[in-house]
Amino acid sequence: MKSELSSLERSVADFESILLGKQGITYLFVTVQTSAVREWIMTKVSCRECYFIKATGANIDYVIRRVKSAIEEVGVPPKYHINVYKNVYACCGVSGSGIIVEITGPEEEKIRSLDLKAVSKILEICEKEGIEHHAFEPLDIG
């Protein structure tokens, strides 16, 4: 590892002295940081809620575990992140538990595709396990 660091340090020193001088390295660093910030700003976030009626907390936890394991099996592309977690809701005298699926990434179409896979898995698990599902909110991407 030490020899790798010294060769890296030599490469940086050569690059600095030959091509750009000391201010060039600062410019290069700023350019890299700017592109990372631009990528972060352009990241889109989606949210989809699934409301359950008559489902216990254990059922919801089970569905979440199964969806997360299915996502790991399929794999998530680089620059994308999927978060699946429990939600509690109340509206007009009705309350219960639900699941929220959040996906972050740069491309809206890829987010839609990943969301469809997660929602399909939720529906598949509910049908196999006899868990009643109430409704899915429309996908919201912002």
- Each domain of the chain, given as residue ranges in start order, spans 1-42, 44-141
Estimate to the nearest angstrom the gap between the alpha carbon of 119 and the chain centroid: 15
Percentage above 90 pLDDT, the chain = 26
User: How does pLDDT run across 82-110, given as a tens digit for each residue?
Assistant: 999 998 877 777 677 889 999 999 999 99
Q: Is the pLDDT of residue 79 over 50?
A: yes
Angle between helices 108-129 and 57-74 (to 10 degrees): 130
pTM, two decimal places: 0.66
d(CA 56, CA 38): 43
Pick the CATH number of 44-141 from 3.30.70.360, 3.20.20.20, 1.10.357.10, 3.40.50.300: 3.30.70.360
Which is nearest to 74 in space by CA: 111, 43, 106, 118?
A: 118
Mind giving me the DSSP string for 107-133? -HHHHHHHHHHHHHHHHHHHHHHT--E
d(CA 30, CA 16): 15
